[in-house]
Structure 1
Amino acid sequence: METNAYEAEHEDFRALCRVFLEREAVPYHDQWERDGLINDALWKKAGAAGLLGVDAPVEHGGGGQADFRFTAVFVEELTRAGVTAPGLVAHNDIISSYLATRTTPEQRARWLPGLCSGELIAAIALSEPEAGSDLAGIRTTAVRDGEEYVLNGQKTFITNGEKAGLVVVAAKTATPRGAPGISLFVVESGTPGFTRGRRLDKLGWRASDTSELFFDDCRVPAAHLLGRENAGMGYLMGGLPRERTCISAVAVATAEKMLADTLEHARTRKAFGQPIGSFQHNKFVLASLDTEVTLARVFFNHCVAELNAGRLTVTDAAKLKWWTTELQVRVADRCLQLHGGYGYLRDSPIAREWSNSRVQTIYGGTTEIMKELIGRSLGL
C-alpha cells in the first residue's frame, strides 16, 4: 500500500530540516523544557535556514511554497528529533497563513519579513477563560474610535503568548444592525494596554510558552484590522481545515514514532527468557496499532492532497483531526504499557510523548466538537 506522498523536493527539504534540528535544537531541547520556552536564537537561525514562512511570498522572505506537504515534513522532522515545539508549528503554518492571505500589501510588507526571518514571533489569541471551542462565546470586544479600535478582554492558553511580538486577536465588533460579529486584529508587542499574564504550567509541551493575555483599553490602529470588519468568523472557519490538518500531522508523525520505538523495545526487551513482543497478547496489540497507524497515514495523505487542491471540507478535516489525535493518545497509552516501569519514568521518551499527546484531542476543537460537526453533516 502506498503511504508515501512525498516527492524529491520534499525529501530535500526533509534533509535540510533534519540537519538543522540535529545541530541547532536537539542539544538544547532539555534546557528549553526546563526553561519552559525555546531560546530566541533558535527562531532566528530557523529563519536564516529557510525553515520559517515556507508558504509566504518570496518577496517578503518566504519560500513561496503553497504545498502543505512542506509543513508536514517540518512537523515529521520535529517529531523524529524529539523536539516538542508547537509554537514553531503555529507560527510557521497557522498564523503565517492568515497573514499571507487576509492582509493588504502594506500589512504583508510590515509583518511577513519578520515572521520569515524569525525576528518576529507570532501567536493567535482565540481561547478565553469562558470560551474555547465555542468561538461565538468570546467576550473580548473591539470598539471603533476614529482611526483606532479599543480592545478589552482576556485570552488564555495562548501558544507563544509570552514571547510573541505579534498577536492575531479575535474580538467581537458590532455589525451595522447592532448584532455582535467577530473581527481579527493584529496587536504588536508594546501596544499600550496589552499585557501578558503568567506562563501556564502544562502537563506536556514543556518547551512551549503558553500564557494569558490581557487587553485593557488597548488602542490598535484601524489599519491593523485583518480583512473586513465582522468577517472574522468566516476567516477562522475557512482556516480551520488547515489548522486541523496541521494538528493531525503532529498526531500521525508522533504515533508512527512511538510505534517504531516500541517495536524496537519489544524485540530487544526480554521477559521469561523471550522478547516481550513474542507474547501473543503483545503481538496482537502491536499488530492492531500498526494497522491503525497505517490507515491514519493513508487518510492523512488523502486530506493533504484535498487541502492542496482547495477541496478539503470542514467535515473531512474534523474526521481527520479527531481520529488521528485519539489514535495518538491510544498509541501513547499502549506503548507506555509495553515499556513497563521504564516507560513511567518522567524523562523516558515514551513518557514525554504520553504527556504531550493528551492535549491533541482538546485544542483546535475537541473530539466532541469534531463529532458534532460530522453529525450535522449527516443531517442529524
Structure 2
Amino acid sequence: MRITDATLSEAHRAVRDRVRKVAEAVIAPNAAAVDATGEFPVASHRALVAEGLYAPHVPEEYGGDGADTLTSCLIVEEVARVCASSSLTPNVTRLASLPLLLSGSAELGERYLRPLRDGAILAFALSEQDAGSDAASVRTRAVRVDGGYRIDGDKRWITNAGVADYYLVAAVTDPDAGAHGVSMFVVHSTDEGVSAGPDEDKLGMRGSPTCPVHLRGVHVPADRLVGAEGEGLRLALGALDHSRITIAAQAVGIAQGALDHAAGYVAQRRQFGRPLADFQGLRFKLADMAMHLEAARQLTYAAAARSTQDSPDLRFFSAAAKCFASDTAMQVTTDAVQLLGGHGYTRNAPVERMMRDAKVTQIYEGANEILRTVMAKQVLADH
C-alpha cells in the first residue's frame, strides 16, 4: 500500500522516488545477507554517496544540498523499508554532524562536514557503561595539556565505531561542574590511542557496527573542541532533539516494509478454500497496522517541519514522533510475523528481521520511557 501524501512538495516526492529506486535496485537484494553475516553494508553506503543521498543536510557552503529535515527523513524511511542496517550509518553520521552545525564554527564545518559529500563516516561517542540515559554521568576525561587536551576513557554502544573516520566524543573537562563540565571534541579514528573493540552480537541491526571505543592518552588539538568548554552536553542534547526524528522515520520505514510484505502474503495465501485476505479478523489487523503506521508517518513529518524551523515545541514533537513511531514499528512487525504464521517465524521471511530491527528503535537516541518523561515535562511546563 502506498498512500499519496499531499503534504509532500514535488521536490520531496522526487527525492523519495530517487532513493526508492536505489533502495530497491541496490540495497534490498543484499539486506538478508547483511543481516546474516553482520557485515557492514558497503554497497549500500557507496550507492547512497554516489546518488548524493548520504548527507543532503550538509549546508551548501560545505558542499552539501542544505536539505531540510523532511528530506533526510524520506531518505532514511525508504532505505529502512528494505534494510534498516543500511539506514543507520547515514542516520548516525547526521546525528554526529549536528553538534558541528549547532556550534556555528565555520572552521570545523569546513574540516568535517565537507568530507561527508564523499562518504566520510561519523560516530557519536556519548554513551558509556554507566552513562546511557543519564548522559551527564560520563566519566571520560579531557585534561588540558600543551596545545590541546589529553582524553582518556571508554565509550560503549557506539554506532559506526570501527568504520567511522571521525568521532564526536563527549568528555569531562571540569569534574566539579556536573552537566556543565562536559565538553565535546572531534577525535580522528587514526589518532594514536584510539581503538574500537569487538562488534556487539546484537539482536537486530546486525549490519550496523556497534562497538566500544577506547581512548588512551589521546592528544586532541585545541582547535578540535566543538563549541566552548562546558557546552558538550547542551550540544549533544540539542543534536538529539533534531536527530531522533530520523529515528522515527527509520521506524516508519521498517513498519512499512513489514506491512507491505504481510499484505502481499495475506492476499496470496489460501486456507479453507479462499485467500486469507477474505477473513475479517485478518483484514481488521491489516487495517490497524496501516492506521497506526500512517499516524506515525504524519507525526514524524510534522516533527521534521518543526526541526527545520527550530520551533520552540521541537523537543516535544521529536520525542513524541520517535516514541510513537518506534512503538508502532514494534507492533506492526510483530503483527506481520503473526500474519505469516510459521513462515513468518523463519529466516526465509524478511518480517522476522524487521521485527528484530524494530526493537532497538524503542531504545536508542532516548529510550521511550525517558522520552515519555520529556514529553510530560513539556506538558506540565504551562501549569
Q: Distance in 2 between matches of 1:183 and 1:165?
A: 20
Percent identical among aligned pairs is: 31
2:257 corresponds in structure 1 to: 257
Distance 1:369 1:218, change over 3 A: same
Q: How many residues align?
A: 378
Mapped to 1, the partners of 2:123 and 2:177 lie a distance apart of: 31
Does the 8 Å contact 1:127/1:157 carry over to 2? yes
Deviations, residues 284-325 of structure 1 (Å, cap 9, x unaligned): 222222222222222222222222221142122222221111
The within-5 A match list for 1:237-252 is 237-252=237-252
**Structure 1 residues 331, 281: closer, same or farther in 2, change over 3 A?**
same
Alpha-carbon separation, structure 2, partners of 1:338 and 1:44? 35
Q: Counterpart in 2 of 1:12? A: 14
2-side partners of 1:373 and 1:103: how far apart?
26
Q: Is the 8 A contact 1:61 1:117 kept in 2?
A: no
Which residue of the partner structure matches residue 76 of structure 2? 75
Aligned-pair distance for 1:83?
5.4
Residue 322 of structure 2 aligns with which residue?
A: 321
**Structure 2 length as normaliser, TM-score?**
0.91
Distance in 2 (CA, whole Å) between partners of 1:20 and 1:153 is 40
Q: Which residue of 1 aligns with 2:370?
A: 369
Counterpart residue identity of residue 105, structure 1 = A
2:30 and 2:63 map into 1 onto residues whose CA distance is 27
**Letter of the 1:260 counterpart:** D
2:123 and 2:247 mapped to 1: Cα distance? 16
Partner of residue 296, structure 1: 296
Kept in 1: contact 2:16–2:74 (CA 8 A): yes
Q: Describe how 1:1-380 pairs up with structure 2 within 5 A.
A: 3-40=5-42, 42-65=44-67, 67-82=68-83, 84-118=85-119, 120-174=120-174, 181-311=181-311, 312-379=313-380
Asked whether the equivalents of residues 179 and 233 of structure 2 are also in contact (C-alpha less than 8 Å), the reply is: no
SS of equivalent to 1:206: coil
Are the counterparts in 1 of residues 27 and 43 from structure 2 also a CA contact under 8 Å?
Answer: no
Do 1:196 and 1:213's aligned partners in 2 also have CA atoms closer than 8 Å? yes
Structure 2 residue runs of 5 or longer lacking an equivalent are none
Q: Deviations over 1:251-305 (max 9, x none)?
A: 1222223223212222221222222232232222222222222222222222222
Comparing 225-234 and 54-63, the one that deviates more: 54-63
**1:86 Cα deviation (Å)?**
3.9
Write out per-residue CA displacement over residues 228-258 of structure 1, whole angstroms, 9 at most, x where no aligned residue: 1101111122222211111101112222232
CA distance in 1, matches of 2:71, 2:39: 24
CA separation in 2, counterparts of 1:32 and 1:333? 21
**Is the Cα–Cα contact under 8 Å of residues 336 and 350 in structure 1 kept in the other structure?**
yes
Task: Note if contact 1:3-1:297 (Cα within 8 Å) is conserved in structure 2.
Answer: no
Mean alpha-carbon deviation: is it higher for 213-222 or for 274-283?
A: 274-283
> In structure 2, what residue type is equivalent to 1:317?
S
Using the alignment, how far apart are the partners of 1:134 and 1:4 within structure 2?
A: 40
CA drift of 1:31 comes to: 4.0
